[in-house]
Structure 1
Amino acid sequence: MVGPVDHLELSAATFARLTIKRTLIAYAVVPLAAAGAIVALDHWQKRTKSRKAAFPHEKPLHSTVGETSTTIFTFGVEVYEEMIRAIDGATERIFLETYIWKGDALGQRFKDALVAASERGVEVFLVYDGFANLVVPRSFFQFPAGIHVLPYPVFRPQVLLMSIKHTGRDHRKILVVDDTIGFVGGYNIGTLYATQWRDTHLRIEGPAAWELSSAFIDFWNLNLRSGHPSIPSPGTDLWDPGFQAARNAPARRVYPIRNIYLEAIRRATSHIYLTQAYFIPDRELLDVILAAAQRGIDVRIIVPEASNHVLTDWLSRGLYSKLLRAGVTIWLYRNAMVHAKTATVDGEWTTIGTANIDRLSLTGNYEINMTIYDQTIAQQMEEIFTVDLSNCRQLHLEEWEQRSPVAKLGEIVLTPLSPLL
């Protein structure tokens, strides 16, 4: 028999359970609802605005590190022409891996060049991310027999078993020709990126191209399917500490890119220049950046004033107050999308690659960043950074703290989504 006190205890327990349940639902639903509203508003605003990007950029910068020559590109037209020239000159084999490959005029130029290479006897291996190219007609990725094509799957069944290591996308952008010429960086393939986006790509020619060739071969052999040939993975007698490719491989739970950032920032004694399309560092990365600024390091970060992914902008802004109060300077890139994923530290160390400083890139996707220990390359990257600063406006703490209460509330509400992006 249940007495009045028991009824009260049951009611209190039931009320507590309901309260917890409703709180958890609200914790999940409110950020998602806010995110949906922000994305919808951003989409509407972009549809009603027509703006052509115009931005300053550096000419291609050349150098030599050991036995390897390098060129840094910051304008799409120039790097695409150089990539197609390399494909046209191929005599043995071509590796091309890209996240986005638009089926537009530029995408067709790449396709035609690859088909022509195959027809003259060059072995061609292609990888593209299926999810990132869902909007591209499937017919575009149909190639003649003899060209080896590996689409990274849109969906992997292991996800149903809650296998996090199978949720990442193939976000890499690699081209290797004849194992001697390699390209890596932020540029996807598409007409939009040729003139409208500010990005950074690295060309290397010489022994260090092995770093990119080896990275492609490892990915291919790990993901090949029935009917795909495996590619032998030769070693190299090159032991050049000036070059190293850091490769994130989710299936193997290997994420070295995050570590190279942590170590480089911890080592800094003078300055750190970061250019990031999407900047949402995890707690440890944020802490080392703040610590660097607080010990007097000149930390400068270039981010888009308005990127192509509005949610990342809002999540990034949620960190601005901490960064500005610590002495980090934030520079907002105007009138164009800056998509580069680069950093240089103390005029000694540089990284150029595909990984953003966010969870998706550093602990989720397949990514690759080339790290270079060379003063000339670092100086070139600082020159590029200076040119980019000329197209930025600095965000000051006083201005930032006067933003609207609605913006402040939005940043707080969206915070639970940070681990997802």
Structure 2
Amino acid sequence: MRLTLTSRDRGLLRRVRRYAVRGAGLGVAAQLTVAVGLMAGDAVRKRRRTDEPTAPADPPLRARVGDDVTTTYTYGQDLYDDMLAAIDSAEEFIYLASYIWKGDETGQAFKEAVVRAAERGVLVCVVYDGFANLVVPREFIRFPDPVHVLRFPVVRSGLPIIDFRRSGRDHRKILVVDGRVGFVGGYNIGSLYATHWRDTHVQLEGPSVWELQNAFVDFWNRHRRAELPELPDSGSPHWNAAIRAARNEPSRLVYPVRALYLEAIDRATDRVWITQGYFIPDREILDTLLKVAARGVDVRVIMPERSNHILADVVARYYWHDLLAGGVRIFLYQDVMVHAKTATIDGVWATIGTANIDRLSLVGNYEINLELVDDTQAAHMEEIFRRDLQRCREMTMEEWQGRPWHYRAAERILQPLEWAL
């Protein structure tokens, strides 16, 4: 059947289309205006701040998890000291990936360490994200020939909006040395993170180091240029490990970290404790959290009072009403930026990794999160969570409902940006 439109119908459609385009344009203009205003105000606030609070220097926690030993870090300098010691002890190979690698004192220490290792004959392979390091001096990110460097490109061939395999940044932070020790978590490389950010990283010693090594090797071999060496790929004989890696890989359209969270939260019977630098849950994760809270599970989320991304803060707050009304407790970390990407459930399950609970991490970037099913490791994660609670203030529904009207307006206007944050 063929649809015939009258001249009046066609005129109406043209007007609807014109108003839609105009409305869309006004919406984008409003978003830009609010975003620019917020970022300008945040920049002024940061310039006026004369003190820079330091992160709590809590000691690392060690645990035996199956056949592995884990060391969980919440203070960057302790982590960097052990990472540099591992690099200096390398005899065969070093695989290092960092989303951000600052050209400061800490960054220079890592650069010198990998160069020394390469000069003594160790195979050194380094990955960093080109976009995340655009502001880093080019001279700093040039390495001598013995160091093999894969710069994940700022722009790749193809259109990400058409071919999702071309989307995403390499947001992972991995170090593997000789296949015997590995590190993964939220810490990038930089002096700021060493003492002024609260983050979480874990070191593995044992057969589960393969999880990190395999993730690096697969990424390297898939994205390397022809002149870079192909790395040996091996399977793992350990199928029932207490530690497993979930790897988001846009080039393969694989995003298991989101499923990891959904399944674990759905199993909860007692408590779900989450710490996130940027917490912008999609509808499935939000509904799952509300569902388990409704059946009496203690659901708590720690996030920064103010993160380093003001727009992410505003967009995240769009969901606070639903969370608070549904019984989820929100705690705001004070003074320093909490950047961790962790959760622990029922004193049994935990995850530590690089993925935030937001769209960009869960269905966009290259990410890696470890799943650890072990009572001792979960107890350590709960100890860290309780420690963090002492440095938080709780957001109540009464306070949230009393926020100024312009806060509400900004949240509603910027909410569509959740896909880009």
Structure 2: distance between partners of 1:246 and 1:114: 27
Match of 2:191 in 1: 191
- What's the secondary structure of 2:71's corresponding residue? strand
Match of 1:3 in 2: none
Q: 1:13 to 1:260 in 2, by over 3 A?
A: closer
Match of 1:393 in 2: 393
- Alignment size in residue pairs: 416
Q: 1:57 to 1:266 in 2, by over 3 A?
A: farther
TM-score by length of 2: 0.96
Match of 1:22 in 2: 22
Shift, 1:294, TM fit = 1.0
Structure 2: distance between partners of 1:371 and 1:58: 23
- What's the secondary structure of 2:355's corresponding residue? coil
Shift, 1:241, TM fit = 2.8
Partners of 1:57 and 1:384 within 8 A in 2? no
Structure 2: distance between partners of 1:7 and 1:376: 74
1:43 counterpart letter in structure 2? A
1:301 counterpart letter in structure 2? V
Q: 1:9 to 1:367 in 2, by over 3 A?
A: closer
Structure 2: distance between partners of 1:156 and 1:111: 26
Match of 1:252 in 2: 252
Structure 2: distance between partners of 1:13 and 1:179: 64
- What's the secondary structure of 1:138's corresponding residue? coil
Aligned identity (percent) is 51
Structure 2: distance between partners of 1:53 and 1:31: 32
Match of 2:336 in 1: 336
- What's the secondary structure of 1:351's corresponding residue? strand
Q: 1:12 to 1:364 in 2, by over 3 A?
A: closer
Name whichever of 55-64 and 290-299 sits farther off.
55-64
Structure 2: distance between partners of 1:263 and 1:323: 19
Partners of 1:353 and 1:369 within 8 A in 2? yes
Shift, 1:14, TM fit = 4.1
TM-score by length of 1: 0.96
Shift, 1:166, TM fit = 1.3
Q: How does 1:298-313 map to 2 (within 5 A)?
A: 298-313=298-313
Partners of 2:164 and 2:253 within 8 A in 1? no
Q: 1:222 to 1:333 in 2, by over 3 A?
A: same
- What's the secondary structure of 1:158's corresponding residue? coil
Q: How does 1:30-49 map to 2 (within 5 A)?
A: 30-49=30-49
Shift, 1:161, TM fit = 7.0
Structure 2: distance between partners of 1:167 and 1:74: 31
Shift, 1:160, TM fit = 6.6
In structure 1, the gaps of 5 or more residues are 1-5
Shift, 1:416, TM fit = 1.3
Name whichever of 390-399 and 38-47 sits farther off.
38-47
2:166 counterpart letter in structure 1? H
For the aligned residue pairs, the C-alpha RMSD in angstroms reads: 1.4
Q: How does 1:258-273 map to 2 (within 5 A)?
A: 258-273=258-273
Structure 1: distance between partners of 2:11 and 2:76: 66
Structure 2: distance between partners of 1:155 and 1:380: 41
- What's the secondary structure of 1:141's corresponding residue? coil
- What's the secondary structure of 1:275's corresponding residue? strand
Partners of 1:127 and 1:150 within 8 A in 2? yes
Shift, 1:39, TM fit = 1.4
Name whichever of 143-152 and 382-391 sits farther off.
143-152
Shift, 1:49, TM fit = 1.7
Residue 163 (str. 1) matches residue 145 (str. 2): no
**C-alpha distance after superposition, 1:144-193 (max 9, x if no partner):** 22211100001112127732331200000000000110000000000000
Match of 1:124 in 2: 124
Match of 1:318 in 2: 318
Structure 2: distance between partners of 1:405 and 1:160: 37
Q: 1:123 to 1:11 in 2, by over 3 A?
A: closer
Partners of 1:58 and 1:384 within 8 A in 2? no
Structure 1: distance between partners of 2:94 and 2:15: 65
Match of 1:113 in 2: 113
**C-alpha distance after superposition, 1:202-258 (max 9, x if no partner):** 000111100000000000001011201111101122223301000000010000000
- What's the secondary structure of 2:17's corresponding residue? helix
